[in-house]
């Protein structure tokens, strides 16, 4: 009698386990389905090193030309200031403001292209920290060159502009300087060494969002929860698209998983050592 009872219990347990497993699988499938439905994932292609280099070179050349134009517009504004240049139907103040705006447009586009190039084909940092800083932050330096001389000359000038025009032109030029400086700064610079190291250590696909500055190792990372569209591709593609930094949470998770794997290996080795001899 007792044995019979025990057999029945075992069957029930087995069924229970099966049911639980099935339920867990169903839940997992449902979650995956939901992720698929709510998140659009766009695959981003990886450029070859040669493609990266040639694209970066083109961008840098265009940036240099645009910066030359920006300085040209600054010089024009200075010529308008000293009345070396004038347009009969256009007041001096407006001529100067137009030059400043054109200066700003060229300066900002140049800086954005320059930054893009710095991610496609980063500069080396080793033994050249100052050079690396200057090259990655060239957008800020050029913003200073494109506006500060003009601002100084306007402030120093006497009787070239009436009082009201002088204030307006100064304010517009300072605002332009701030915009160009902020947009020109590279807040996430990456060096050639850092990029190579990331490419060596991360072989699988990574994920990033439309506006985030970081890339993620896991598509289900908590910090990706609120993004409707995810981009995924190689770590090279992520860096090329301005995502040069690894997410803190993903880095921690990867480290923990790695540790668990190592612990598992150690346990196995321990068991083998204990039973083997
Ligand atoms: Zn993450």
123 and 179: one domain?
yes
Alpha-carbon radius of gyration of the chain: 30
Does the pTM of the predicted model rise above 0.75?
yes
Q: How far is the CA of 221 from the centre of ligand 1 (A)?
A: 5
Q: How far is the CA of 115 from the centre of ligand 1 (A)?
A: 24
Q: How far is the CA of 91 from the centre of ligand 1 (A)?
A: 54
The label of the residue with tokens 């591709």 reads 233
214 and 157: one domain?
no
- Which of 129, 158, 189 marks a domain boundary? 189
pLDDT confidence band for 266 (50 / 70 / 90)? confident
209 and 174: one domain?
no
131 and 258: one domain?
no
Q: What 8-state DSSP symbol labels residue 223?
A: G
Q: How far is the CA of 210 from the centre of ligand 1 (A)?
A: 14
Range of the domain at 132: 49-189
Instruction: Determine, yes or no, domain membership for 194.
Output: no
Q: What 8-state DSSP symbol labels residue 204?
A: S
Instruction: Determine, yes or no, domain membership for 214.
Output: yes
Q: How far is the CA of 211 from the centre of ligand 1 (A)?
A: 14
183 and 142: one domain?
yes
Phi, psi of 89 (to 5 degrees): -95, 5
Provide the token pair at 42. Answer: 């766009």
Instruction: Determine, yes or no, domain membership for 120.
Output: yes
Q: How far is the CA of 21 from the centre of ligand 1 (A)?
A: 28
More confident residue, 180 or 31: 180
Q: What is the mean pLDDT of the chain?
A: 87
Instruction: Determine, yes or no, domain membership for 21.
Output: no
Instruction: Determine, yes or no, domain membership for 31.
Output: no
56 and 151: one domain?
yes
184 and 64: one domain?
yes
Instruction: Determine, yes or no, domain membership for 41.
Output: no
**What pLDDT sits at residue 277?**
47
What's the burial of 224, exposed, middle or buried (CB within 10 Å: 0-12/13-18/19+)?
A: buried
- Which of 189, 211, 233 marks a domain boundary? 189
Q: How far is the CA of 259 from the centre of ligand 1 (A)?
A: 18
Instruction: Determine, yes or no, domain membership for 121.
Output: yes
Q: How far is the CA of 219 from the centre of ligand 1 (A)?
A: 8
- Which of 189, 211, 239 marks a domain boundary? 189
166 and 211: one domain?
no
**What pLDDT sits at residue 200?**
94
DSSP 3-state of 182: helix
User: Residue 19: is its pLDDT beyond 50?
Assistant: yes
Strands 40-43 and 229-233 come out as parallel
Q: What 8-state DSSP symbol labels residue 206?
A: E
181 and 71: one domain?
yes
Q: How far is CA 172 from the centre of its chain?
A: 29
64 and 184: one domain?
yes
Q: Looking at the 3D structure of the chain, how many domains does it have?
A: 2
104-127 average pLDDT score: 96
Tens of pLDDT, residue by residue over 117-162, are: 999 999 999 988 999 999 999 999 999 999 999 999 999 998 899 9
Q: How far is the CA of 181 from the centre of ligand 1 (A)?
A: 30
Q: How far is the CA of 227 from the centre of ligand 1 (A)?
A: 12
214 and 164: one domain?
no
Instruction: Determine, yes or no, domain membership for 11.
Output: no
User: Residue 10: is its pLDDT beyond 90?
Assistant: no
Phi, psi of 189 (to 5 degrees): -70, 150
255 and 168: one domain?
no
Provide the token pair at 175. Answer: 């605002």
């Amino acid at each position: 009698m007792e044995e019979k009872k025990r057999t029945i219990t075992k069957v029930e347990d087995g069924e229970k386990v099966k049911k639980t497993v099935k339920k867990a699988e169903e839940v997992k499938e449902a979650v995956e389905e939901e992720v698929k439905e709510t998140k659009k994932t766009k695959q981003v292609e990886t450029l070859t090193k040669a493609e990266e280099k040639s694209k970066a070179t083109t961008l840098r050349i265009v940036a240099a030309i645009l910066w030359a134009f920006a300085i040209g517009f600054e010089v024009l504004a200075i010529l308008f200031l000293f009345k070396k240049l004038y347009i009969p139907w256009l007041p001096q103040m407006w001529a100067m403001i137009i030059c400043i705006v054109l200066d700003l447009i060229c300066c900002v586009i140049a800086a954005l292209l320059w930054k893009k190039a710095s991610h496609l084909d980063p500069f080396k940092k080793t033994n050249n920290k100052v050079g690396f800083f200057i090259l990655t932050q060239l957008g800020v330096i050029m913003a200073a060159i494109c506006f500060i001389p003009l601002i100084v000359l306007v402030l120093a000038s006497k009787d070239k502009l009436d009082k009201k025009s002088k204030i307006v032109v100064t304010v517009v030029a300072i605002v332009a300087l701030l915009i160009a400086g902020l947009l020109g700064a590279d807040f996430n610079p990456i060096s050639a060494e850092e990029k190579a190291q990331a490419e060596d250590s991360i072989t699988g696909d990574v994920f990033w969002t439309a506006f985030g500055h970081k890339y993620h190792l896991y598509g289900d990372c908590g910090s990706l929860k609120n993004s409707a569209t995810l981009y995924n591709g190689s770590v090279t593609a992520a860096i090329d698209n301005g995502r040069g930094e690894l997410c803190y949470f993903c880095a921690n998770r990867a480290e923990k998983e790695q540790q668990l794997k190592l612990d598992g290996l150690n346990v196995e080795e321990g068991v083998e050592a204990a039973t083997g001899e």
